[in-house]
Structure 1
Amino acid sequence: MATIDQQFILSNFILSSFTDIQTISRGFPSLQFESIAPNIYAITVPAGEQAEREFNILRNTVNFITSPIPYGLSAVPALSASNISQFHNYPYGELRGNGIIIGFVDTGIDYTNTLFKNADNTTRIVSIWDQTISGNPPSGYSYGSVYTQQDINEALKSPDPLAIVPSQDENGHGTFLAGIAAGNDQTGTLDYTGGAPDAAIAMVKLRPASEYIRDIFLINTGEPAYQNNDIIAGISYLVRLSLQERKPIVICIGLGSNYGAHNGTEIIEDYISSLSLAANIIVVIAAGNEGSSGHHYKGTVGSGGSESLEVNVGVKETGFPMFVWVDIPNKITVSIKSPLGQVIEKIPIVPRIPQSFKLNLEETTVTVTYFYPDPLTGGQKIDIRLEKPTPGLWTLTVYGDIVINGIFHIWLPRRGFIQSDTRFLRPDPETTIEIPGTEQFGITVGSYDYLDDSVYVSSGRGPTTDGIMKPDLIAPGVNVQGPMPGGGFTTYVGTSTAAAITSSAAALLMEWGVLKGNFPNMNTRIARSILIRGARRQPNVIYPNTIEGYGRLDLQASISRA
């Protein structure tokens, strides 16, 4: 019997199904089903043999059940470079984000910071859903606590605010992004203004990934990681909040993952795609910082042939997975060679059954699992897991069993999840945009340094594996200043910073379009079209391209050409 901790050790399996959930749940009474977004449910498997048996039956019955996937954080006169601040005091009708909500799914927010308060010491934050604090979950959810604008105002009146609203941002990433996008010092002492200084703010503070998920994906100790089911729930909550407040919303996603086919087929990407048609919602996504990490390999293998590639494993590496995705309708197998020369010969395909190999002369255990066909893509997926790998060069050989074009992609985990010196010897810097930035219709944003106009070397690059050009554009993401929890300012480098700046531009665009009547049915697809049309393009550069997309964010040009 499996002894499963109630705190999500073997829980939160995501089910994407159009079958009526009541019908499913009646057949599996020991399992707990919770809706986290339309047609997407989290499944909790309590400890005990009966629940485990029921879940195994369910997993064999329903195709679209997967374990949660870990995501990490992708972290400014930058506003002038993007022609945003010009609208704050524009003589023909200023745009400051008034009447718009900017929502974040991130690490939380320091609600006591002056930048998030009005001049009368009341808050500009309309809601905080802290998933880490039990007690008062939002309607329709079973975890976390919601704090309303009224709750936060009561806390700000108190000499001990945290006694009333105990939510904090221990990391600082969420506070930083919120400050860049919507900070506004109304006291006159800090002289700091974000891109949409009059916008309302909403924050979903994500709970950390469970130890079970961290162990499955062998994530470095201490590195922040979050689960895609909690991110989806957070996005869904912000959409509901927008309807409740009757205000348009811009949702800023500054997280990403390398696990997936990078073609828009992941559950979170499918959900964002459905939101892209919704009026009064704009979704902005960081491209991620994987462009220079050496974590992507693209290869081509011929029919009956093979291709070998090398992975350098760092000295301090304790373990990591590799994710292989194969274009339809190709079919491949693999073999593995260790730095000491031990060889695991060509491993046959046994669908969905892990095959483990303990190397006799080393401490390493290698596990290979073939997924064929993968229910999300219809193609082939291979998970390769190395525990206690010997440092040095590992060789992976790919064999073409059934080949049409022979194209395959391999990703290592994102920056921070593994050691920085664990990387492919011959990496491909393209197709390094993190999921969910590979979704087709969301506004995916890369990063550049506004001081010298150079592209940030680690900014994720396109295209997607199915040929969609990404990113959509780039925005300032280097040398950008923003607030820290507890006061003061710092600088972050990364595409999440660029996404926050673009979110502020989207809020001003939403105000101009919806509240001022120029585009009453503004949605993500319309906003994306407007922003890429007005993007600033460099001379003698072909656009769109895999590094800059359609160019640099320029809100003034975008509105003038809308």
Structure 2
Amino acid sequence: MPDQKIDNLLNLAMDATPQERRKSGNLNIGYDPATRLWDVIIKYSGPESGLAGNGIQVVPLLGGYAVVTLPDSEIDKYSHRAQVEFMEKPKRLYFELFQAKGASCIRTVQTGRNGLTGKGILTGVVDSGVDYFHPDFRNADGSSRILRLWDQSIQGNPPQGYVTGTEYTKEQIDEALALGENQGRRLVPSSDYSGHGTSVLGIAAGNGRASDGVNQGVACESDLLVVKMGIPRENSFPRTTELIQGIDYLVRQALTMGRPMAINLSFGNNYGSHKGDSLLETYIDMVSSIGRLAICTGTGNNGNQPLHEGGTLKQGQTRQIELSVSSREPTLNVQLWKSYEDEMSIYIENPSGNRIGPLDEKLVPQRYRLGNTDLLIYYGKPGPYHLTQEIYIDFLPVETYVDSGDWKIILSGKRVRGGEYYLWLPGGNTLNRGTGFYEPRAYGTLTIPATARRVIAVGAYDSLVDSYADFSGRGSRMLPYLKPDLVAPGVNIVAPVPGGGYRTVTGTSFAAPFVSGSVALLMQWGIVNGNDPYLYGEKVKAYLRKGARPLPGYEEYPNEEVGWGEDVIIRLH
């Protein structure tokens, strides 16, 4: 019987064949086939000393969490250790890509005799890296504003307590800057190949030196901490194991320095119940109460994409959920989440009209073949941290591609109490155009970790026309608390790009750093300037909500699209 201290996806991956894992776009995430080692996130209790072992590497995190690297063959045995409470497979993360400072009232609070600039506050980002040569991250004397840079992709000298990457100090970065581009990048060879992290950090805290201050970021005098995710493996997408270590590192740095910090996360993913109960989300909620900090994240860009479906099924009722699969789709997966107390018969029908079901409610992998597509299914149960039940369906091609056309997932209510059900497809533009639900649901399209309770979840609006951006992820009643918290400019934002220039960017990735910068300004006003020494954590969120401005077209606040409204940096009083 599968181990219920292990999450559903890892249980399925352990039982899947090597061929099934290779064909799936999901099952091998976190696994290195060259070394046959897994990276997993665990929640544990008791001393750290008993976590490691022969061939097992452990990075203890704050609050009883850890990232463990261990052989494929040891996972089941390791999960039975008394200290291990739960084990979770890594998930792939995606960028939340898809005139603004004036719209957010940033200029007003940055200027004047008592102008706020983030001075004395740390701005931390976990992202794709940074172009540390960019003038916007350098002081007037040419030295760096970056105090620490941990590049997880360069092996050599990891930070104390971690086992991957290389940590660069301000002194090393300053030495590299003094040497110039050619020699300096040999000393500190960290780069931002996508430019995403450089743009995010520039919006939050760039000083605008490359544009004579025209494109100045929000917390333009804050000190910077940067984590570049991305341990080189089979693909270049970062994973939740890297993100959780990056957050842990930033929090420990702030504690060591004894300084307040605003953290920005502009990555997300679609895998999970979206109820704030994954180990990543519970870790973020826990760590948000350590030290003086606040964590901001974008809500994702799935609001206008056909990736989410849901509804309410009554007893005796049948619902047919149609899923279009475009041609040349190499693989896809569907998550169906429902209440455990609701009993439903579940059937799957392929484009030719052939049907399987009802699916067995057993904790074992189920395998079916419909046409030229294999279905690998796991009918899970609730876990120690999950109240809801997941049915995971992997569509694997018999040859090269999944059968294209109109697939159907059919739900029939047997014994129903609440009846709510929700389905998600993978995000991050990994599916071909034309693949998606026929009747998608915009509500509930927040990406994880924007669903964590204690983060400040930031959606996007278009500041040029003062209207909500329809791509921005929306909250829903499935969460026991309302999200998003507020919105910020996220359309056609001018931001730094590697090489010293600027570009125009769009997405909630770039709305979130407006709020991260605003958090730094609030902390400066409260903590550094002595107006409110306790202005951090949930109190910052409360101030931002109170100061939010309504957007045209909405009468009821808060709501699932814009939360409490537009970030206007707060009415300080």
- Per the TM superposition, whether the score is higher than 0.5 is yes
Q: Any idea what the Cα deviations from partners look like across 1:55-91, whole Å, max 9, x if unmatched?
A: 222335655112111111112x311111112122223
State whether structure 2 residue 307 is matched by structure 1 residue 295: yes
Q: How does 1:129-528 map to 2 (within 5 A)?
A: 129-159=150-180, 160-186=183-209, 189=212, 191-207=214-230, 210-211=233-234, 225-351=237-363, 353-359=364-370, 361-362=371-372, 364-388=373-397, 389-463=402-476, 465-528=478-541
SS in 1 for 2:572: helix
Q: Any idea what the Cα deviations from partners look like across 1:3-47, whole Å, max 9, x if unmatched?
A: 98476754111111224332344xx5443222144311122123x
Would you say the 8 A contact 1:251–1:503 is kept in 2?
Answer: yes
SS in 1 for 2:58: strand
State whether structure 2 residue 42 is matched by structure 1 residue 15: yes
Counterpart-to-counterpart distance in 2, 1:285 and 1:5: 29
Partner of 1:119: 140
Query: How far is 1:245 from its partner?
Result: 2.4
Would you say the 8 A contact 1:275–1:281 is kept in 2?
Answer: no
Q: Any idea what the Cα deviations from partners look like across 1:379-428, whole Å, max 9, x if unmatched?
A: 31111100132111100012334421111111111131222321110111
Query: How far is 1:129 from its partner?
Result: 0.5
**TM-score normalised by structure 1 residue count:** 0.91
Query: How far is 1:316 from its partner?
Result: 2.8
**From 128, 134, 137, the counterpart of 1:107:** 128
Distance 1:21 1:330, change over 3 A: farther
SS in 2 for 1:102: strand
Counterpart-to-counterpart distance in 2, 1:392 and 1:494: 30
Would you say the 8 A contact 2:273–2:388 is kept in 1?
Answer: no
Counterpart-to-counterpart distance in 1, 2:211 and 2:327: 51
**TM-score normalised by structure 2 residue count:** 0.89
SS in 1 for 2:563: coil
> Which stretch shows the higher mean deviation, 141-150 or 320-329?
320-329
Counterpart-to-counterpart distance in 2, 1:420 and 1:139: 45
Counterpart-to-counterpart distance in 1, 2:105 and 2:219: 12
Q: Any idea what the Cα deviations from partners look like across 1:525-555, whole Å, max 9, x if unmatched?
A: 0000000101001466110011110011111
Distance 1:406 1:187, change over 3 A: closer
Amino acid at match of 1:553: D
SS in 2 for 1:70: coil
Q: Any idea what the Cα deviations from partners look like across 1:473-514, whole Å, max 9, x if unmatched?
A: 000000110011112211111111110111111110010011
What RMSD in Å do the two structures reach over aligned CA positions?
A: 2.1
Amino acid at match of 1:81: A
Query: How far is 1:119 from its partner?
Result: 1.3
Counterpart-to-counterpart distance in 1, 2:77 and 2:466: 56
Partner of 1:221: none
Counterpart-to-counterpart distance in 2, 1:549 and 1:5: 40
Would you say the 8 A contact 2:340–2:382 is kept in 1?
Answer: no
Counterpart-to-counterpart distance in 1, 2:35 and 2:444: 32
Query: How far is 1:96 from its partner?
Result: 0.5
Would you say the 8 A contact 1:72–1:225 is kept in 2?
Answer: yes
Amino acid at match of 1:446: G
Counterpart-to-counterpart distance in 2, 1:402 and 1:34: 45
Partner of 1:219: none
Amino acid at match of 1:455: Y
Counterpart-to-counterpart distance in 2, 1:358 and 1:209: 35
Query: How far is 1:328 from its partner?
Result: 4.4
Distance 1:550 1:104, change over 3 A: same
Counterpart-to-counterpart distance in 2, 1:519 and 1:463: 33
Amino acid at match of 1:16: K
Distance 1:399 1:21, change over 3 A: farther
> Which stretch shows the higher mean deviation, 301-310 or 468-477?
301-310
Would you say the 8 A contact 2:63–2:287 is kept in 1?
Answer: no
Partner of 1:541: 555
Distance 1:122 1:549, change over 3 A: same
Query: How far is 1:191 from its partner?
Result: 3.5
Would you say the 8 A contact 1:483–1:490 is kept in 2?
Answer: yes
Query: How far is 1:280 from its partner?
Result: 1.7
Counterpart-to-counterpart distance in 1, 2:477 and 2:501: 39
Would you say the 8 A contact 1:287–1:495 is kept in 2?
Answer: yes
Query: How far is 1:278 from its partner?
Result: 3.3
Q: Any idea what the Cα deviations from partners look like across 1:192-227, whole Å, max 9, x if unmatched?
A: 21111111111110015854xx7xxxxxxxxx6221
Distance 1:74 1:95, change over 3 A: same
Amino acid at match of 2:111: N
> Which stretch shows the higher mean deviation, 9-18 or 283-292?
9-18
Counterpart-to-counterpart distance in 2, 1:509 and 1:402: 51
SS in 1 for 2:357: strand
Amino acid at match of 2:386: T
Counterpart-to-counterpart distance in 2, 1:312 and 1:413: 14
Report % sequence identity. Answer: 33
Distance 1:350 1:551, change over 3 A: same
Counterpart-to-counterpart distance in 2, 1:85 and 1:190: 11
Would you say the 8 A contact 1:509–1:559 is kept in 2?
Answer: no
Amino acid at match of 2:344: I
Counterpart-to-counterpart distance in 2, 1:325 and 1:464: 14
Amino acid at match of 1:66: E
Distance 1:74 1:263, change over 3 A: same
Partner of 2:25: none
Partner of 2:28: none
Equivalent pairs, count: 536
Would you say the 8 A contact 1:479–1:492 is kept in 2?
Answer: yes
Would you say the 8 A contact 1:374–1:381 is kept in 2?
Answer: no
Structure 2 unaligned spans of 5+: 1-13, 19-30
Query: How far is 1:333 from its partner?
Result: 4.2
**From 82, 101, 104, the counterpart of 1:79:** 101
Partner of 1:45: 70
